[in-house]
């Protein structure tokens, strides 16, 4: 690969990151102020040692976001629901909960560029 092609690849990656950041910031600006509480399991229940809630959230969101149109945002509420569905298959007692109060616009979690 010559130097020009390498430079073009780097510039293209930088442009994609800038676009993703811009879309993410725009979506974040739409969100109401406040706190979202996410629990990997309900009180009194235990988490599974084999299936990490965070890992399910990231892997599930990564798979789902690729199915969405470009510049589409996956909210943290949707990512939590995906993780809960994945965990339900492996560990029935672990039920993640998401509580963001009475908001209409949930915080962004992932974007498809």
Please give the residue range of the domain that contains residue 65: 3-112
> Each residue of 40-86: pLDDT tens digit?
887 777 666 667 888 889 999 999 988 888 778 899 999 999 998 98
CATH number of domain containing 86:
3.30.70
Distances (CA, A) of 55 to 11, 23, 48, 97, 108: 31, 24, 12, 16, 17
> Each residue of 1-21: pLDDT tens digit?
566 777 888 888 888 889 889
Structurally, how many domains does the chain consist of? 1
Query: Among residues 13, 26, 24, 14, which one has the least CA distance to residue 65?
Result: 24
**pTM confidence score:** 0.78
């Amino acid at each position: 690969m010559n130097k020009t092609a390498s430079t073009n690849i780097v510039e293209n990656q930088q442009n994609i990151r800038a676009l993703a950041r811009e879309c993410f910031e725009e979506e974040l600006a739409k969100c109401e102020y406040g706190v979202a509480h996410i629990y990997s399991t309900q009180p009194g229940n235990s988490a599974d040692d084999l299936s990490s809630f965070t890992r399910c959230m990231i892997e599930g969101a990564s798979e789902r976001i690729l199915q969405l149109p470009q510049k589409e945002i996956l909210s943290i509420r949707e990512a939590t629901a995906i993780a809960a569905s994945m965990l339900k298959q492996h560990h029935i007692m672990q039920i993640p909960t998401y509580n963001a109060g009475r908001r209409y616009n949930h915080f962004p979690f992932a974007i498809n560029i």
